[in-house]
Chain A
Amino acid sequence: MDFRFDIIIEYLPLLLKGTLWTIGISILAILFGSVLGLGVALGKMSHRGYLRWPASIYVNFFRGTPLLVQILLVHFGVVPLILGSTNAIVAAIVALSLNSAAYMAEIYRAGIQSIDQGQTEAAYSLGMTPGQTMRTIILPQAIKRMIPPFGNEFIVLIKDSSLFAVIAAPELMYWSNAMRSQYFKVWEPYLTAALIYFILTYSLNKLLAYLERRV
């Protein structure tokens, strides 16, 4: 087998550009997912049915259906409906954000519910409102416990972003596919892609382990 390093070198600028998109899409998705996920989590824990039910349906839908199906729905359905035409990058960010919000919601919920009820009672007894209690007492403690599952979710999300190759979002996997089609080579593009994904997730793992020690 002759392994052609020269085509890897040739494609490297495109692969790195794709990697930047992979990182960008993943970071935006985890950010939007974290914000939306907190809302969904609070909805799911609410005593009010009109908040709890939609939140619960949301989580069930996005966790219970394949991400690929969600991507196609957003790309060919939701985004054209709103923007008039579709856009792979926008669709990728929207689909991944919506999906990660459902998982983030469960991470928030587990984190929040792991905090002793006595903390809430102590805060209430001091005259704090439920909002103040959540913001200044519960969440700061819960977030520390959420770092490991949050890290897992981020890593899953980076790997899942490879699915966006099917809607031709120009991320890492898309350029690997392009390389394969041009040279009819399999090992070079996919091993390179695998190595880059691994470097991304491995360094993220290390970063999160460091953060966990620091907080």
Chain B
Amino acid sequence: MSNIIEVRNLKKVYGDNVVLRDINADVQSKEVLVVIGPSGSGKSTFLRCLNLLEKPDGGTILIEGKSLMDPTNKIHEIRMELGMVFQRFHLFPHMKVIDNITHAPVHVRKWPVEKARKKALELLEKVGLLDKANAKPDSLSGGQAQRVAIARALAMEPKILLFDEPTSALDPEMVGEVLNVMKDLAKEGMTMVVVTHEMGFAREVGDRVIFMEQGVIVEEGTPAQIFENPKQERTKAFLSKVL
């Protein structure tokens, strides 16, 4: 299988604070890569570098062989292939749910409105929110809002989905409904990079798990290796706290 994302020697600093030092990672097509680690480990920054919401200070990132650092590659075109789901949803509050979903396909992909609407309704059905098509985002619960946010990202038909702690801002009873949607996507073969504190999800759905701490990848392996048989002391220490 080919690598759809290749990260080499990625570095990110804020002033004197080195957030990412020398990160190397690959993501294969149709793979679910889960990134775990304590707060401040740099895992969200790593994810946000993948679609250049953070500008790396060194190294290279290739998405389907195209370098994000090459100024001749149009970054907004590369981002079309990388959907992102945020911790705090960031739905567009001035638009109805359906318009949140159709907005980018119509304005960015230049789809006819009818085609975008049809797709949006399919996606809303898929995430179980067809009845909310004409609702305003502020009338949704957290779990519903996050499912709409996933539908919004999917509407662009991206090749990769990035999840930045998608359940961390949710009330506990709503975590399940969002994770279920993500599990379905994984089953359908969506390539996903998921930063999360949900160890159950990492174990069950992840193809590979990366444990990060203090800006470096401490350990990488299958969920079985990481959770049952961690090699590094730091991984063991972290898992003993969260499991």
Contact with B along A130-161 (1 / 0, CB 8 A): 00100011001100100000000000000000
Surface stretch bound by B, among A37-45, A58-66, A88-96, A115-123: A115-123
Q: Which residues of A contact B8 (CB under 8 A)?
A: none
Query: What is the number of residues of chain A that contact chain B, defined by CB distance less than 8 Å?
Result: 18
Q: Which residues of A contact B108 (CB under 8 A)?
A: 126-128, 132
- The reply on B51 being an interface residue by CB < 8 A is yes
CB of B107 within 8 A of CB of A136, answer yes
- The reply on A202 being an interface residue by CB < 8 A is no
CB of A122 within 8 A of CB of B79, answer no
Q: Which residues of B contact A (CB under 8 A)?
A: 51, 53, 76-77, 79-80, 82-84, 86, 88, 90-94, 103-104, 107-109, 149, 152-153, 156, 162
List the B residue with the shortest CB-CB distance to A117.
B90
Q: Which residues of B contact A127 (CB under 8 A)?
A: 76-77, 79-80, 104, 108-109, 156
- Can you list 5 A-B contacts (CB < 8 A)? A126-B80, A126-B108, A126-B152, A127-B77, A136-B103
- Distance in Å: Cβ of B54 to nearest Cβ of chain A: 10
CB within 8 Å of B: which A39-90 residues: none
Q: Which residues of B contact A116 (CB under 8 A)?
A: 90
Q: Which of B79, B83, B90 makes the CB contact (< 8 A) with A119?
A: B90
Q: Which residues of A contact B51 (CB under 8 A)?
A: 124-125
Cβ-Cβ contact count across A and B, 8 Å cutoff: 63
- The reply on A114 being an interface residue by CB < 8 A is no
Q: Which residues of A contact B53 (CB under 8 A)?
A: 121, 124-125
- Distance in Å: Cβ of A117 to nearest Cβ of chain B: 9
Q: Which residues of A contact B84 (CB under 8 A)?
A: 121-122, 125
Contact with B along A151-192 (1 / 0, CB 8 A): 000000000000000000000000000000000000000000
- Distance in Å: Cβ of B145 to nearest Cβ of chain A: 12
List the A residue with the shortest CB-CB distance to B106.
A136
Q: Which of B80, B90, B94, B104 makes the CB contact (< 8 A) with A140?
A: B94
A160 and B79 CA atoms in complex are apart in Å by 48
Q: Which residues of A contact B (CB under 8 A)?
A: 116, 118-119, 121-129, 132, 136-137, 140-141, 144
A96 and B112 CA atoms in complex are apart in Å by 44
Q: Which residues of B contact A140 (CB under 8 A)?
A: 94
CB of A122 within 8 A of CB of B80, answer no
CB of B94 within 8 A of CB of A126, answer no
Task: Other than A119-B92, A126-B83, A126-B108, give 11 A-B pairs with Cβ distance below 8 A.
Answer: A121-B90, A123-B104, A124-B76, A125-B51, A125-B84, A125-B86, A125-B162, A126-B79, A126-B152, A128-B76, A136-B103
CB of A125 within 8 A of CB of B83, answer yes
Interface core residue of B77, B88, B92, B93 (most chain A CB under 10 Å)? B92
List the B residue with the shortest CB-CB distance to A215.
B94
Q: A116-B90, A119-B90, A119-B92 are in contact. Are A125 and B107 (CB under 8 A)?
A: no
- Distance in Å: Cβ of A8 to nearest Cβ of chain B: 48
Q: Which residues of A contact B153 (CB under 8 A)?
A: 125-126
CB of B156 within 8 A of CB of A126, answer yes
A189 and B55 CA atoms in complex are apart in Å by 64
Q: Which 4 A-B pairs have the closest CB atoms?
A: A127-B80, A125-B84, A126-B104, A122-B90
Q: Which residues of B contact A118 (CB under 8 A)?
A: 86, 88, 90
A127 and B86 CA atoms in complex are apart in Å by 15
List the B residue with the shortest CB-CB distance to A122.
B90
A132 and B79 CA atoms in complex are apart in Å by 14
CB of B90 within 8 A of CB of A141, answer no
Q: Which of A121, A128, A144 makes the CB contact (< 8 A) with B104?
A: A128
Q: Which of A121, A122, A123, A141 makes the CB contact (< 8 A) with B94?
A: A141
